[in-house]
Structure 1
Amino acid sequence: MSGKFEPKVPVKLDPPKDDPITPEELAKANGENGGKCYVAIKGLVYDVTGNKAYQPGGPYHVFAGKDASRALGKTSTKPEDVRPEWHDLSDKEKGVLNDWITFFSKRYNVVGKVVGATNFDDSP
């Protein structure tokens, strides 16, 4: 179903950027003190600043400033699951992770790539 992940309100997105974002810069983009709020998935960095769910006090703030690939694949908000490693997830969890990428890509601008990330895709 093509409309499965379509936003309720159309979103005009900028072309994806591939600016280098260091892990330290990503960590600082956690929405604290009204600052930028980023979430990375498979090394791609999404700007979720406008969504209160990722801001301090929000249900998904645990993902802010981090690569949340593993947690998203596991449908987990446990802090110990919020990390970039996802290659050892089950096929079902990998499918869930890919669904999250589709969801994010239809709603949030890609602002860059995590410098040194090794979790970009499923290639060996």
Structure 2
Amino acid sequence: MSGKFEPKVPVQLNPPKDDPISVEELAKANGADGEKCYVAIKGIVYDVTGNKAYQPGGSYHVFAGKDASRALGKTSTKAEDVRPDWQDLDDKEKSTLNDWITFFSKRYNVVGRVEGATNME
């Protein structure tokens, strides 16, 4: 399993932050106008600013500024699936969601946690 999610090019990450980020702040971090671009998974906020796929017009922009837990677990890019709730996913989808957390944690800095998140575990 080691190496399965390793980036092709090593990434130097900052120590994870535990700063509270409001849902409103998260929503503003959608990459528009060159601003920061964040994606949350299970309430953990990742800075994906440097990845064009999350910027406006990118294939994963639907996740920008949101907690995309459900959509990632379902491997969906449908806007209606981009929601924080994931607890009712089946075991395979939950495993997929955890794989995404591993993937993100090896590539993107953790900049905080969604304030009041109830979907962390």
Q: Secondary structure at the match of 2:104?
A: helix
**Secondary structure in structure 1 of the residue aligned to 2:111:** strand
> How large is the RMSD of aligned CA atoms in angstroms?
0.3
State yes or no: 1:25 paired with 2:29. no
Taking the TM superposition and a 5 Å limit, the aligned residue runs for 1:45-124 are 45-121=45-121
Residue 12 of structure 1 aligns with which residue? 12
Q: Distance in 2 between matches of 1:93 and 1:83?
A: 14
Structure 2 stretches lacking a partner, 5+ long: none
Give TM-score scaled by structure 2 length. Answer: 1.00
- TM-score, length basis structure 1: 0.97
Is the partner of 2:87 in helix, strand or coil?
A: coil
**Cα drift, residue 116 of structure 1:** 0.8
Cα deviation 1:3-32 (Å, max 9, x = unaligned): 000000000000000000000000000000
Q: Secondary structure at the match of 1:25?
A: helix
Q: Is the partner of 2:97 in helix, strand or coil?
A: helix
Seq. identity, %: 84
Give 1:113 deviation, angstroms.
0.3
4+ runs of 1 displaced by more than 3 Å?
Answer: none
